[in-house]
């Protein structure tokens, strides 16, 4: 009986040793991660011009300003006192100024913060227009603008004032949403 117990213990010890040896022979430890360097740092730019292109390589918008700061956590940009140009698919672009601007990482959203003035020159598709408002949400990829603030739209022969505005840059439509008041210049008789 003692001899039988010794054989069982020896067989178990041999099985444990073989298991341990096979484990270390076939075990491949995880390789250490490749060194990729420190995370991308924040940066600032002074006196810059940013030209953003769409997926087809056409100009989407341009921002020129005295200062830009990039946020490291989400890649967004903060711009002080920008002069901007938002391209239209057809016709004249909108040019303007705002107190500051926020641009998300992929350039699909701009917040033109503070007082905003924008103007469009006349062409064959649409007449000249000037917009004065604040805090404009711009979607350059969709060629769309909107604000919930009071807005004034000035065009030759008319001044429109209201609260809230939507603009479709593709169709050249400007829409005031509420409390709309209009002043029209009298037409001259020939």
Could you report the per-residue pLDDT of 31-77, keeping only the tens digit for each? 766 666 554 558 889 999 999 988 888 888 999 999 999 888 788 89
Side-chain-side CA neighbours of 189 within 13 Å: the count stands at 0
Could you report the per-residue pLDDT of 79-94, keeping only the tens digit for each? 999 999 998 888 888 9
**pLDDT greater than 80 at residue 20:** yes
> How far apart, in whole angstroms, are the C-alpha atoms of residue 92 and residue 85?
10
- Report which secondary-structure segment, H or E, holds 107: none
Could you report the per-residue pLDDT of 94-109, keeping only the tens digit for each? 999 999 999 999 889 9
The length of the chain, given as a count of residues: 190
- Report which secondary-structure segment, H or E, holds 22: helix 2-26
**Helices and strands: H and E segment counts in the chain:** 1, 10
8 A C-beta contact, residue 65 and residue 152: no
**What class has domain 44-184?**
mainly beta
Residue 118 neighbours by CB under 8 Å, 6+ apart = 94, 95, 96, 130, 131, 136
pLDDT of amino acid 80: 94
8 A C-beta contact, residue 147 and residue 133: yes
Structural domain spans, the chain: 44-184
Q: Residue 117: which pLDDT band, with cuts at 50, 70 and 90?
A: very high
**Could you give the percent of the chain with pLDDT greater than 90?**
49
């Amino acid at each position: 009986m003692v001899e039988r117990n010794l054989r069982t213990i020896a067989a178990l010890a041999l099985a444990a040793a073989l298991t341990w040896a096979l484990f270390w022979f076939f075990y491949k430890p995880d390789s250490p991660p490749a060194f990729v360097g420190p995370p991308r740092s924040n940066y600032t730019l002074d006196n810059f011009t940013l030209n953003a292109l769409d997926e087809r390589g056409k100009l989407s918008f341009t921002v020129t300003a005295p200062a830009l700061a990039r946020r490291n956590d989400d890649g967004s940009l903060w711009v002080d006192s920008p002069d901007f140009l938002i391209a239209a698919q057809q016709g004249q672009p909108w040019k303007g100024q705002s107190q500051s601007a926020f641009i998300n990482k992929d350039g699909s959203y701009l917040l033109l913060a503070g007082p905003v003035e924008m103007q469009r020159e006349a062409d064959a598709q649409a007449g000249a227009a000037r917009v004065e408002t604040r805090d404009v949400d711009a979607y350059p990829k969709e060629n769309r603008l909107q604000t919930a603030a009071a807005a004034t739209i000035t065009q030759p022969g008319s001044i429109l004032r209201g609260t809230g505005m939507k603009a479709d840059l593709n169709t050249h439509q400007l829409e005031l949403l509420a409390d709309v008041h209009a002043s029209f210049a009298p037409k001259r008789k020939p």
